Structure 1
Amino acid sequence: MPLWKLKREVRRVALQVSQVQWLVYGPALRRIHDFRKARRIRLHHGAHALSGDVAVVLIYQPQGLSGSLFHTLRHLTGKGFAPLVVSNAPLSAEDVARLKPHCAAIMERPNYGYDFGGYRDGILHLLDHGTEIGRVLVMNDSIWFPLYPDCDLIDRMRRADDDLYGYVMNARVNRHRSHLQSYFFAFGKRLVATSDFRNYWAGLFVTSNKNLVIRRCEIPMTEHFRARGYSIGYRYLISDPMIALRSLTPDELMQVVRYQMRVDTSNAATLAPYAAGDPADPAWRTRVMALAGDLKMGKYLLIAHPLLMLGKLRGQILKKDRQPMYRLQRAELLAGGFAEGMAPAVLEEVMTCDGVAHRLPRPLEADPGRYLRPSVLPVHRTADREVEVA
């Protein structure tokens, strides 16, 4: 057996072993947690009423609250949502005081169950103590949101009026594995009012094993509600960057090829000949587009080139992840001028989070209007939906 296969199998077995204790003891640990919640969870009342449309905002900021969190909370309240902030880390008295004007309630809890454990405690508290609850938006602080002041994501969500709506749908051949990504999703009023909604969260498999959180919480949630007849909506499919590729100029397509070589190092050698090619050659474009489908360039929307994710698809969410691919994306974002018009609280953190002294370019001097975000986008039609591409 090749060494790389042996290492892969060892990692797989180690991962499975790490999950055994949670599969065996997880339900009992959840019951113990529920029994102890009154002693282990601290609650603080905020300035807003816990009623109407509510946003459960999960945070983990043990070093102090970020400026972008308050930017997010202001956006949510401006859109008519009462935030319930759930912190998986203790908060200082000063931070609690800073949060209260922006929230309906603040919950401090142990970091049990990671994001879905916090989502669960927040939603069950909302169902038990809220009044006349409408939509329930659920998000966490692994993202910057919104990036730009023209964000219409919540407006789109309301117009769609689906029972469960998410930012990105991971569409799979196997429908049971197709799921909404779990950093931003919302439940409609019809679903929130049902016993199905309460029963799902009360009986959720809670675990502090990250792989099991994905397998037992994030992935099954969408199908759980779809199988019961509830409607599912989303802003983007993971395939949308591939559609946006078609609208690129030759030079822009070359930018994406060179970026892809850095974020997808396993395919760098395959892309290298194209990075040295002539983008003005129509045959070059044809070959690159064919290769893009095979390599699934831009498959994962949140690590796509900023030109695709922000410029063409007008995305409003950026991951805070420190992995190299996201660091490269942030550097490309700043170098390419996509910080133009970005919310100041977000921009400051984007510029400093990687420990690199970034300097903003002046794109308007070189190419006036190139990076401005158009208010009306052309529509590209696919087999089953319309995709707006700048």
Structure 2
Amino acid sequence: MPQWWKIRRELKRLGNHLLEWPADTTNFLFGTFYYDRFLAHKKTILSGLQDTTDKRAVYLIFPKNGLQPGHFRTLDYLASKGFAVTVVSNLPLNPGQKVAVLPKCHMYIERPNYGYDFGGYRDGILSMRNDVAAIKQLVLLNDSVWFPVSSKTDWLADVDDLGVEFAGAVSNYGIPRVDPDHFRELSFDYRTDHKNFHYCSFALSLGQKIVQDPKFIEFWASFPLTNKKKRTVRRGEIGLTAWILRRGYSHAETLGVHRLAECLGKLSDPELRDVARHVIVLDDSRLKKAKANVILSIDKLSRTDLVNFVLMVAARQGTAYALAYYSVLFLGFPFLKKSPLWLDQDAAKISSLLLGALSEPAADEALMEANDLQLSK
């Protein structure tokens, strides 16, 4: 018998695409022109106090509640690694905050909030277009995460150890997706050839060969800006990763998603159950139901079932979200996404729990901000 909920979902999706097609087409064709012609002149560009180096970073911020200690911690980390930072803000800072940020950066760009993080990355990168010959490494970061939230690992040192031209903190769509009710059928086979495979844009590192590729600046100059988030993900995260793969550059990610099945399999029984209980699920009623069922019978499930359940959630939700508890507490992953604090009550509890368990100054700062985020929402 057909699964009618799937048919209804696909019909609804098709209807939405048809309704949005005229606006999406216009936006795709003219979004970048609109920004460059009518919005870009509203940017504020200030020189910071950092000297330039051959290692550059673009740090995109959306400081809705003003600059936080976590912003300065990220900037201090980048400075300690020898990076000259271009801070790009999608919201205006007050004069006092601008004074505070300028000693921490090489350049400050305040721009109209158009194009999400890739719009900000674009302005930051294009501001360096005359310097690319001198750049050996370019890092892209945004403040959708707390970083570094753990001192157990050093992300940029891990990037260097990978020895690749393009590195991310984590990837998506490398793990095969299965229906939540059929997680036992998951066969782990990490691949990078899925049409939606991408490295997440909150932390990316690009090597000298990429930055100095003549097509690199062209990619950003012609990048199709839009104020629709899903389109930005497709054109940005997925589009940039696809561009990297097409041009044959080496690539990898520091979390080691391709080793997740192996790593989860090495956990003790209590640890594995602990990880399964604390996977994060956002805005997916069927996935929430599957998690509830697993928790009810967790002591009866085999280790293989538990590993497959955790992998299924990671595949469907994104590893950076779903496995925050495991990756931060067990692996020392230095990134923690902020949005679960206001998107889901259970996810907020898990995020706050792991921050409290870290017992580090960075985590204490993040926990204070997390409490404010929960209250504000």
Q: Please indicate the TM-score interval, normalised by the length of the shorter structure.
A: 0.7 to 0.9
> Residue type matched to 1:289 in 2?
L
Structure 1, 312-321 or 125-134: larger mean CA deviation: 125-134
Q: Using a 3 Å threshold, how does the CA distance of structure 1 residues 252 and 126 change in structure 2: closer, same or farther?
A: same
Match of 1:292 in 2: 309
Q: Distance in 1 between matches of 2:271 and 2:101?
A: 42
1:350 has 2:370 as partner: yes
8 Å contact from structure 1 (residues 241, 309) kept in 2 = no
Match of 1:368 in 2: none
Match of 2:162 in 1: 160
> Residue type matched to 1:318 in 2?
L
Aligned pairs, number: 351
8 Å contact from structure 1 (residues 274, 288) kept in 2 = no
Q: Using a 3 Å threshold, how does the CA distance of structure 1 residues 159 and 270 change in structure 2: closer, same or farther?
A: closer
> Residue type matched to 2:354 in 1?
L
Shift of 1:154: 0.4
Q: Using a 3 Å threshold, how does the CA distance of structure 1 residues 200 and 99 change in structure 2: closer, same or farther?
A: same
SS in 1 for 2:153: coil
Q: Distance in 1 between matches of 2:47 and 2:111?
A: 15
Q: Distance in 2 between matches of 1:211 and 1:305?
A: 22
Q: Using a 3 Å threshold, how does the CA distance of structure 1 residues 273 and 301 change in structure 2: closer, same or farther?
A: closer
SS in 2 for 1:39: helix
Shift of 1:149: 2.9
8 Å contact from structure 1 (residues 69, 141) kept in 2 = yes
CA RMSD between the two structures: 3.0
Q: Using a 3 Å threshold, how does the CA distance of structure 1 residues 130 and 40 change in structure 2: closer, same or farther?
A: farther
8 Å contact from structure 1 (residues 54, 133) kept in 2 = yes
1:327 has 2:366 as partner: no
> Residue type matched to 2:274 in 1?
Q
1:105 has 2:123 as partner: no
How high is the sequence identity, in percent, across the aligned residues? 26
| Structure of larger gyration radius | 1
Give the alignment of 1:184-223 within 5 angstroms. 184-223=203-242
1:252 has 2:271 as partner: yes
SS in 2 for 1:18: helix
8 Å contact from structure 1 (residues 242, 298) kept in 2 = no
Q: Distance in 2 between matches of 1:252 and 1:277?
A: 16
Give the alignment of 1:127-276 within 5 angstroms. 127-128=129-130, 132-170=134-172, 171=174, 174-238=193-257, 240-260=259-279, 266-267=286-287, 270=290, 275-276=295-296
Match of 2:124 in 1: 122
SS in 2 for 1:127: coil
8 Å contact from structure 2 (residues 149, 363) kept in 1 = yes
Match of 1:313 in 2: 331
Shift of 1:65: 1.2
Shift of 1:135: 0.9
1:72 has 2:74 as partner: yes
> Residue type matched to 1:348 in 2?
M
> Residue type matched to 1:275 in 2?
I
Unaligned runs of 5+ in 2: 176-190
Q: Using a 3 Å threshold, how does the CA distance of structure 1 residues 330 and 29 change in structure 2: closer, same or farther?
A: closer
Shift of 1:93: 1.3
Q: Using a 3 Å threshold, how does the CA distance of structure 1 residues 269 and 318 change in structure 2: closer, same or farther?
A: closer
> Residue type matched to 1:68 in 2?
G
Q: Using a 3 Å threshold, how does the CA distance of structure 1 residues 261 and 104 change in structure 2: closer, same or farther?
A: closer
Structure 1 stretches of 4+ moved >6 Å: 261-264
Shift of 1:107: 0.3
Q: Distance in 1 between matches of 2:135 and 2:280?
A: 47
Q: Using a 3 Å threshold, how does the CA distance of structure 1 residues 313 and 240 change in structure 2: closer, same or farther?
A: farther
Structure 1, 266-275 or 199-208: larger mean CA deviation: 266-275
* 1:197-229 alpha-carbon deviations (Å, 9 max, x no partner): 111111111111111111222112112122112
Shift of 1:110: 0.6
Q: Distance in 2 between matches of 1:30 and 1:278?
A: 50
Unaligned runs of 5+ in 1: 357-390
Q: Using a 3 Å threshold, how does the CA distance of structure 1 residues 205 and 146 change in structure 2: closer, same or farther?
A: same
8 Å contact from structure 1 (residues 162, 231) kept in 2 = yes
Q: Distance in 2 between matches of 1:301 and 1:218?
A: 15
The TM-score with structure 2 as length reference comes to 0.82
Q: Distance in 1 between matches of 2:117 and 2:170?
A: 17
SS in 2 for 1:99: helix
> Residue type matched to 1:296 in 2?
M
Q: Which has the higher helix share?
A: 2
Give the alignment of 1:6-17 within 5 angstroms. 6=8, 9-17=11-19
> Residue type matched to 2:246 in 1?
A
SS in 2 for 1:197: helix
Structure 1, 203-212 or 340-349: larger mean CA deviation: 340-349
Q: Distance in 2 between matches of 1:259 and 1:54?
A: 36
* 1:251-276 alpha-carbon deviations (Å, 9 max, x no partner): 22232333349767524555556535
Q: Using a 3 Å threshold, how does the CA distance of structure 1 residues 12 and 309 change in structure 2: closer, same or farther?
A: farther
8 Å contact from structure 1 (residues 244, 308) kept in 2 = no
Q: Using a 3 Å threshold, how does the CA distance of structure 1 residues 17 and 242 change in structure 2: closer, same or farther?
A: farther
